[in-house]
């Protein structure tokens, strides 16, 4: 990706996540927050550790880290997310910063984590290198990344509805700038190679599989539209009639996931971790 494409994509994401900051917690945040503890476990975060939480969003991981007795700093490229994090957790420290260009000193943290950020970075190698730079020797890094939509069904069901509605998924036509492959690190070998390529040792990649209960198709739709950037931008770029067709199709594609009075939707991610020598 060229430097100009990377800059355009970062601006698109920063503005998009700022716009979604107030609605992110309606569904997407409920799901991502459930991966906070496994992520902190993978990084071995303990009482007294200085922790950098990359792409903190509303501060879910920072909050869980503080409950462990760690001292977190949360950063995010989206000013709106940082504003929500500060409002929700005034006792914690947050700042606007780019994961690929951390304005932080070398060796200033005992652990670095990033919950669902690595798949958003135009240069993930640079992001991991920056995480390693600010980490002390012997410290641990951990990142999470979604598995593909056939395993991460919140995205998968929306994709199925788009397909059933016979809508061509053309991001460029929808005004979405070129960006990184959102599912590159669904491949364990790719994820392992990313961390090992930065010189980390004891690298491990483990899948985490959960089931999210969702009230109905309408809650899934609202959660998707208020808790994604590229995906919701694509849907919003469609005509009213096409959006309605996608929404109607969603009612049908969720049918197999009803369990009693709610949908039970599988969600899955890889968590990769490693230690700095």
The domain spanning residue 126 has which CATH number? 3.40.50.150
**Mean of all residue pLDDT scores within the chain:** 97
55, exposed or middle or buried, with CB in 10 Å at 0-12, 13-18, 19+? Answer: buried
The DSSP annotation for 133-185 comes to HTEEEEEEEEEEEE--TTTSHHHHHHHHHHHHTT----TTTTTPPP---TTGG
Number of domains in the chain: 1
Residue 173 confidence class, pLDDT cut points 50, 70, 90: confident
SS3 of 223, please? helix
What's the CA gap between 15 and 78, in Å, rounded? 7
> In this predicted model, what pLDDT tens digit does every residue of 27-50 receive, in sequence order?
999 999 999 999 999 999 999 999
pLDDT at 143 (0 to 100) = 98
Tokens 């980490």 locate to 135
In which domain, by residue range, is 211 found? 3-275
Task: Read off the pLDDT band of 1 (50, 70, 90).
Answer: confident
Rounded Cα distance between 72 and 62, Å, is: 6
Q: In the prediction, which pLDDT does 170 show?
A: 74
pLDDT at 108: 98
Q: Is the pLDDT of residue 243 over 90?
A: yes
pLDDT of residue 70: 98
Q: Which two tokens stand for residue 108?
A: 């200033």
Per-residue pLDDT at 169: 79
Write out the two tokens for 269: 């991610």
Q: What mean pLDDT do residues 126-141 have?
A: 98
> Tell me, what DSSP letter sits at residue 91?
T
Region class of 116: left (phi > 0), else alpha (psi between -120 and 50), else beta: left
Q: What is the pTM of this model?
A: 0.96
**Per-residue pLDDT band at 166 (split at 50, 70, 90):** very high
- Check pLDDT > 90 for residue 171: no
What is the pLDDT confidence band of residue 71, given thresholds at 50, 70 and 90?
A: very high
């Amino acid at each position: 990706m060229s430097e100009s494409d990377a800059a355009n994509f970062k601006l698109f994401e920063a503005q998009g996540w700022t716009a979604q900051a107030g609605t992110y917690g309606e569904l997407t945040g409920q799901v991502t927050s459930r991966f906070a503890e496994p992520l902190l476990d993978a990084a071995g975060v303990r009482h007294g550790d200085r922790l950098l939480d990359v792409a903190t969003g509303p501060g879910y991981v920072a909050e869980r880290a503080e409950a462990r007795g760690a001292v977190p700093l949360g950063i995010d490229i989206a000013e709106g997310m940082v504003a929500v994090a500060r409002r929700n957790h005034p006792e914690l420290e947050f700042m606007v910063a780019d994961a690929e260009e951390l304005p932080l000193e070398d060796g200033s943290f005992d652990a670095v984590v990033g919950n669902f950020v690595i798949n958003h970075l135009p240069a993930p190698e640079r992001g991991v290198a920056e995480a390693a730079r600010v980490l002390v020797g012997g410290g641990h890094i951990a990142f999470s990344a979604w598995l593909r939509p056939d395993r991460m069904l919140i995205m998968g069901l929306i994709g199925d509805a788009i397909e059933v509605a016979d809508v061509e998924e053309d991001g460029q036509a929808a005004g979405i700038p070129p960006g990184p492959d959102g599912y590159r690190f669904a491949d364990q070998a790719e994820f392992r190679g990313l961390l090992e390529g930065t010189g980390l040792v004891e690298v491990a990649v483990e899948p985490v599989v959960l089931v999210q209960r969702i009230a109905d198709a309408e809650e899934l739709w609202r959660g998707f539209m208020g808790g994604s950037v590229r995906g919701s931008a694509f849907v919003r770029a469609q005509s009213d009639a096409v959006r309605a067709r996608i929404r109607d199709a969603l009612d049908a594609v969720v049918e197999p996931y009803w369990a009693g009075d709610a949908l039970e939707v599988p969600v899955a991610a890889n968590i990769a971790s490693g230690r700095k020598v």
